Amino acid sequence: MRFAVLADTHIGRSIPLAIAEHRREAFSRALTRAVDLCVERGVDYVFIGGDLFERRTLRPHLVQFVHDELYRLARMNEELHGIKAKILVVRGNHDGRPQSDTLDYIKHPLADYLHVFGDTPESAVYRDARLHVVGLNYYDQAEKSFDVLAAPGFKDAEGLRVLLLHHFIGGYNDVPPYSECLTLDRLSEVSPDYVFSGHYHRRCPPKRLPSGGWVLTPGSLEMYDFAESPDKGFYFVEAGGGEPRFEWVPLEPMHVMRQVKVTTDRRRPPKWFMDRIRETIEAFAQELNGAGKKGYIRVVVEGRLSEGFPSDVTTREAEAIMEREPALLWVDVETMRLDMPPMAARPERTNGDVAEYFSDLGEFSTDVRDMHRRVRDALDNEASEQTGLLTPTSRTPFVAEWVERFEARRFREAQP
Ligand SMILES: [Mn+2]
């Protein structure tokens, strides 16, 4: 029998919001293509490992879209191959929480092709003549939910033992620090023949569990964010007789999504950074045109300015390129990580005498000149490399002295 194993379809994802419609379209199209391929090949079971939806609250037409696509899968699969496929779904962290999740909307009394797992040990089990499947929805505490909801579900299991879940798997996925996960040893305790997992967005090759079964993470169907690689798709698994066969089914992301860093070790003027940004975006546009694809690019600018301010690195040129290159759906230039030149915030040197400039203040103008000179010296010696300003410790005494000197004088408004 043939399984399709997919996860993290994130229907409705609209981030980055500047290109929300393109993003929603890309995720929807990925599901459509996965359904097309399942129908073409013919499947017995479809396992969806959570995060079918991006959010608990979504536009109704997107929920309808998912419902229709799953129905199409079941109907066409039966028409073309004579197989009544079963689609099994667990809840991911994006789908909502117990009692309040988007999956409720795709359940239907007549949709016998669809099984959505529940939140009790009993409703976490699906069984038929061939399979015994435990579906573990997402919970904040991975291990506890596994002990309480999943492990008891394998008691008296007959047939092929499958665990479907939405959690990181330690020793298999590259688990981010401080994240909850289930270990391969823990999963082995229930001796599953297959563990299919969502939540981790990068595709992982099948791996044997210490207990002998297989664990498989297909990753997300589309590019979730700029940090991901475009290696997207899902798995077919030929199971049930002898050694299983795993087949990776690639899905090319709809758009090219690229993050590029513009940086240098040396201090450079704003123009240097702007030239690099322009070159980067133009090269990307050329690549898109060559590949006949559309795409978005985020340019992260890092480094130190030799003059001027980060705001001098403008996005005008980037916007102009976007205007004339229809393949560029969006360009984002991030200059927040640019450091100012060492003395950027220093007052400009004046040729004139400061006291003369403030002569209206009478004798106090010599106080101003004195303070100005000392602050300038302090800036020369102690200014922060990053901001060009005095640090609070060196600034505070100046402020105190300034207030003291100011209060020691009496000023009268000039008479008209
Ligand atoms: Mn996800």
Tens digits of pLDDT across the chain (416 residues): 999 999 999 999 999 998 999 999 999 999 999 999 999 999 999 999 999 999 988 888 999 999 999 999 999 999 999 999 999 999 999 998 887 888 888 887 778 999 999 999 999 999 999 999 999 999 999 999 999 999 999 998 999 999 999 999 999 999 999 999 999 999 999 999 999 999 999 999 999 999 999 999 999 999 999 989 999 999 999 998 889 999 999 999 999 999 999 999 999 999 999 999 999 999 999 999 999 999 999 999 999 999 988 889 988 899 999 999 999 999 999 988 898 887 655 555 556 688 888 888 888 888 888 888 888 888 887 777 767 788 878 888 899 998 888 888 776 655 54
Buried b (16+ CB within 10 A) or exposed e, 110-147: eeebbbbbbbeeeebbbeeeebbbbbbbbbeebeebbe
Beta strands in 147-267, from DSSP E residues, in sequence order: 160-166, 168-170, 181-183, 194-198, 207-208, 214-216, 233-238, 245-250, 256-262
Measured in angstroms, how far is the CA atom of residue 166 from the centroid of ligand 1?
A: 8
Please state the separation of Cα 184 from the chain's center in Å.
Answer: 26
C-alpha 50 – ligand 1 centre gap (Å): 7
- Between the CA of 210 and the centroid of ligand 1 the distance, in Å, is 26
Residue 136 to residue 164: CA distance in whole angstroms: 6
| C-beta neighbour count of 38 within 10 angstroms | 24
Per residue in 208-230, pLDDT tens?
Answer: 999 999 999 999 999 999 989 99
281: CA distance to ligand 1 center in Å? 29
Please name the residue that has the structure tokens 């795993």.
Answer: 246
Q: Within its chain, how far is the Cα of 35 from the centroid?
A: 24
- 234: CA distance to ligand 1 center in Å? 14
Q: How many angstroms is it from 94 CA to the middle of ligand 1?
A: 7
Domain spanning 2-250, CATH class:
alpha beta
Report pLDDT for 349: 55
Max alpha carbon distance in the chain (Å)?
A: 104
Between CA 292 and CA 297 the distance in angstroms is: 16
State residue 414's pLDDT score: 52
pLDDT at 345 (0 to 100): 52
Q: What is the pLDDT of residue 25?
A: 97
The upper half-sphere exposure of residue 121, i.e. CA atoms within 13 Å in the direction of its Cβ, equals 10
Q: Taking the model in full, what pTM does it have?
A: 0.80
Residue ranges of alpha helices (H) inside 299-361 are: 316-324, 354-357
24 Cα–ligand 1 center, Å: 15
Domain ranges of the chain: 2-250, 256-339, 354-407
CA dist., res. 341 & res. 266, Å (int): 11
pLDDT at 383: 77
Q: What angle do CA 175, 58, 48 make, to 5 degrees?
A: 45
Surface-to-core class of residue 224, CB atoms within 10 Å of its CB (0-12 exposed, 13-18 middle, 19+ buried): buried
Rounded Cα distance between 22 and 255, Å, is: 9
The β-bridge relationship of strands 96-97 and 100-101 is: antiparallel
Query: What pLDDT, in 10s, does the model give residues 235-252?
Result: 999 998 889 999 999 999
CA of 92 to the centre of ligand 1 (A): 7
Q: Which residue has the tokens 């079918």?
A: 52
Return all residues near 397 (Cβ < 8 A) that are at least 6 apart.
Answer: none
Which pLDDT value is given to residue 294?
97
What's the gap in Å between 213 CA and the centre of ligand 1?
24
What distance in Å separates the CA atoms of residue 113 and residue 340, rounded to the nearest whole number?
A: 61
Q: Count other Cβ atoms within 10 Å, centred on residue 40.
A: 12
CA 194 to each of CA 101, 110, 133, 366: distance values in angstroms, whole numbers, following the listed order: 26, 29, 9, 84
Three-state DSSP class for 158? coil
User: Which tokens go with 52?
Assistant: 């079918």
* pLDDT at residue 113, rounded to an integer: 96
Q: How far is the CA of 191 from the centre of ligand 1 (A)?
A: 26
Q: Rounded to the nearest whole angstrom, what is the distance from the C-alpha of residue 406 to the centroid of ligand 1?
A: 61
